[in-house]
Amino acid sequence: MTNQEIAKILKNISIILEIKGDSKFRVIAFERAADVISNLTKDIEDIYTQGGIKALEEVPGVGQGIAERIEELLKTGKMKDYQKLTSEFPEKMLVLTDVPGIGAKTAFAFFKKLKIDSIAKLEKAAKSGAVSKLSHFKEKSVKNLLRGIEQYKARAKEQERMLLTTADQLAGQALSYLKRNKLVKRADAVGSLRRMKETIGDIDLIISTPKPQEVVNYFAKAPFIKNILSKGNTKISITHNKNIRIDVEILPELDYGSLLQHFTGSKEHNVHLRTWAEKRGLSISEYGIKDLKKKKLHHFSNEKDLYKFLGMQYIEPELREDRGEIEAALENKLPKIIGYNDLLGDLHCHTNKSDGSNTIFELAAKALKMKYKYLGISDHTAGLGVASGLTEKNLLKHKAEIQKINKKFRGIKLLAGAEINILANGKLDISRDIIKKLDYGIGSVHSAFNQDEETMTKRVLNAIKSGIKIFGHPSGRLLGQRQGYDLEWTEIFKACAKYNVALEINSFPERLDLKDTLIKDAQDYGCKFAIDSDAHSLENFDLIKYGIATARRGWATKKDIINTWDLDKLLKWFKS
Ligand code: DGT
Ligand code: CA
Ligand code: CA
Ligand code: ZN
C-alpha cells in the first residue's frame, strides 16, 4: 500500500469524524497524520517491515491508535473502523469536500438531502438551481459554488501532470544511468521537459548509439523501473517506481538533430513548421528533411543546422510553443532571451528571523558560492499576525544586522529588503517611512485571495503606488492547489511600468509566477522583471533555474530583468 493510499484513508476518517461532530482533537490528529504521511520520503510499508509498530509510532503525528490502524491496514488490507464509518458516510461523497469552499458539513448536507455523491451531480444541481433547496444556499453561494467546481476541475486536470522540478530530477537520474553505458553516445531529455514547461505530462528521452537493441536491453534493467509498458528494437516505455511514465527513442547519430527537434515539440510548433515547409516542397520528419522535387533527404546531426536549412534563426526550446516564434525567426526578429548564467543576484530570500531556516551569514555564503554580486534579504513583515514576521522595530534591527554582516563579506553586497504584506484594503503593513529606510520592498498578497477582480485589482494598484519596488509572486497561483486570483492584468502592467515596479518571476516549483504567457504580455507595456528564488533554505537558491526558464518561455531579455543589472544601476532604479 502506498503512502498516498494510506494518507487518503486517514484524511477521509478525519472528514467523517468532523461530519459526525467528533472531538476536534481527534479530527485534527487524523488530518495531521495524513498530511505527514503524504509528504514522507520513506515508504510507510518499508518503515513497518523494518521496525514494526514501534517504528510507525516514531513517525511524527502518528500516535499509538493511528499506528495500530495502519498496521491493521498493512496486514489485512482493511481497516474495520474505516469500513464502519464509510458504511454510514460513503467514500464516494467525500470527493465533494475537495471543492474549494465546501466543508465536511455542507458536503454531507448535499449527500443527505440531495443525494449528491459526485462532482458531476453537484455541478448539475448547482446549474439547475436544485442546491438552493438547502436553506443557506442563496444566489451568491451558488455562484461561489460554481466557481469552486471550476477550480476543482482545473486542479484535477493539473494534478495528472507533475511539477517541472520532479520531472527534471527523475530525468536526471535516468540520464546519468544511461551515460554510464559506453554504447550511449548522446542522451537528452526532450518533450515538454526540454521546453521547461511548468508542468510535465510524461518524460521523453532520446539516445544515439551504434547498438540500439543493446541499449534498450540495458535501459530495461534500470533499478528505478516499476514495470515495462512496451519494448521494441529502437524504443522502450516504462513506468518509473514514482509512477511516472518515461518514453525512450533511439536513433543513429547521423539523424540526432532531427530526432532532437522532432521530439522536443511542442506538437503545435512542429505542426506549424511542417505546414510552412510543405508549401515550399519540403517534408520534415524525425529522419530528416526531404526535398520533394529533388527527391533528396537531408540529414541533420545538429539541431541548429536544421533551423538554418529552413532559412530561419535558431529557436530555443523554451520558445517552441507556436506563439509567434516561427514568424519571428523567419524575419530574424527573435529576441535574445536571458541566459541561464545572466543573473548577478537574487532579491528574495528569507532568514530564520521570519520563516526561513538559515542565518543572514549562511545565506550570504551560499550566494557568494553562486557567484552572485548582491543578495537582497527580504523577510516577511508582521502585519498579518500569522507566520513569524518582523515588526517595524525588528525590521530596522534586522537591517542593522544585515549591514553588519555585509562587512564580513568581500565580493558580494547584501541589500536590506522586506516582503511586505499587501493587506485586504490595499494598504501595506509597514509605513512608507520604514520602507524608505530599506534598500527596497517587495509587496505580496498573502491573504483574502477570494476578492473579486475589481477589488483585487484596486488593492494591488494601491500597493504599486505605495513605494514597493517588486510585486511578489503576482498571480498567487499554486500549481495543482490554487488558481491565481483575478486581476485586470493590463491595468497592473501599466501601473508597474509607470511606477517602476518590477514584476517578480518567482522560482518556487508550484509558483513559477508570473507565468510565461503573462510575462510575454507584460513586455508590451514596458514592464521590468525580477527573477527570484524566494529561498527559505540554502537548497532553495538552486530553484532559480526554473524561474529563469519561465522568463525564457516568456521571451524576456536580459535588459528587462533588474537582477541582471550591475549594483549601481539597480540601486539607482530602486531609488527612482
Ligand atoms: P507533455 O508530456 O504532455 O508534458 O507534453 P510533450 O510536449 O512532452 O508531449 P508528448 O510526450 O506527447 O510528446 C513528446 C514530443 O513528441 C512532443 O513534444 C512533440 C513530439 N511529437 C512529434 N509529432 C507528434 C505528434 O504527432 N503528436 C504528438 N503528441 N507529439 C508529437
Ligand atoms: Ca512528454
Ligand atoms: Ca511522451
Ligand atoms: Zn517570500
Query: Does domain 163-251 correspond to CATH entry 3.30.460.10?
Result: yes
Residue at grid coordinates 539607482: 572
* Helix/strand/coil (H/E/C) assignment for every residue in 11-46: HHHHHHHHHCCCCHHHHHHHHHHHHHHHCCCCCHHH
**How far away, in angstroms, is 350 Cα from ligand 4 center?**
6
SS3 158: helix
Q: What is the pLDDT of residue 4?
A: 85
CA 356 – ligand 4 centroid, Å: 9
The identity of residue 197, as a single letter, is K
CA nearest ligand 1 atom 26, residue: 267
- Supply the mean pLDDT for the chain: 94
pLDDT per position as a tens digit, 513-530: 999 999 999 999 999 999
Distance in Å, CA 510 to ligand 4 centroid: 13
Please provide the CATH number assigned to the domain covering 3-158.
Answer: 1.10.150.110
- Taking 3-state DSSP, the helix, strand and coil percentages for the chain, each rounded to the nearest 5, stand at 50, 15, 35
The residue type found at 531 is I
Q: Is the pLDDT of residue 281 over 90?
A: yes
- Helices and strands (DSSP H and E) totals, the chain: 23, 17
Checking if the pLDDT of 139 tops 70, the result is no
Ligand 1 pocket at CB < 6 A: 191-192, 200-202, 204, 262-263, 265-267, 270
Stated length of the chain: 576
Which ligand sits closest to the CA of 235?
3
Instruction: Say which range, 161-175, 194-208, 247-261, has the weakest mean pLDDT.
Output: 247-261
Domain with CATH 1.10.150.110 in the chain: 3-158
In the chain, ranges of CATH 3.20.20.140 domains: 345-574
User: Ligand 1: which of 270, 303, 318 to mutate, most ligand atoms within 8 Å of CB?
Assistant: 270
Give residue 302's pLDDT band: very low, low, confident or very high (50, 70, 90): very high
Q: Which atom of ligand 1 is nearest to the CA of 199?
A: 4
Which among 261, 423, 444 has a CA at the least distance from the CA of 348? 444
431 CB-near residues (< 8 Å, 6+ apart): 392
Name the residue with higher pLDDT: 560 or 131.
560
User: 207 is written with which cell numbers?
Assistant: 539516445
Model pLDDT, residue 534: 96
Closest CA to ligand 1's atom 19: 265
Distance 253 CA to ligand 3 centre (A): 21
Amino acid identity, position 325 = E
Nearest to residue 310, comparing CAs of 293, 295, 332, 294? 332
Contacts 24+ apart (CB under 8 A), 330-339: 335/555, 335/557, 336/557, 336/558, 337/551, 337/552, 337/555, 337/556, 337/557, 338/531, 338/548, 338/551, 338/552, 338/556, 338/557, 338/558, 338/561, 338/564, 339/558
- Tell me how far the alpha carbon of residue 515 lies from the centroid of ligand 4, in angstroms: 17
| Ligand closest to the CA atom of residue 508 | 4
Please give the pLDDT value at position 122: 93
Is pLDDT above 90 for 103? no
pLDDT digits (tens, 9 = 90+) for 32-68: 999 888 877 788 999 999 999 999 999 888 999 999 9
CATH number of the 265-330 domain? 3.30.210.10
Tell how far the Cα of 526 is from the centroid of ligand 4, in angstroms: 25
Q: What is the pLDDT of residue 383?
A: 77
pLDDT digits (tens, 9 = 90+) for 415-460: 999 999 999 999 999 999 999 999 999 999 998 888 999 999 999 9
Each residue's pLDDT tens digit, 188-247: 999 999 999 999 999 999 999 999 999 999 999 999 999 999 999 999 999 999 889 999
CATH assignment, 345-574: 3.20.20.140
The reported pLDDT for the residue numbered 387 is 56
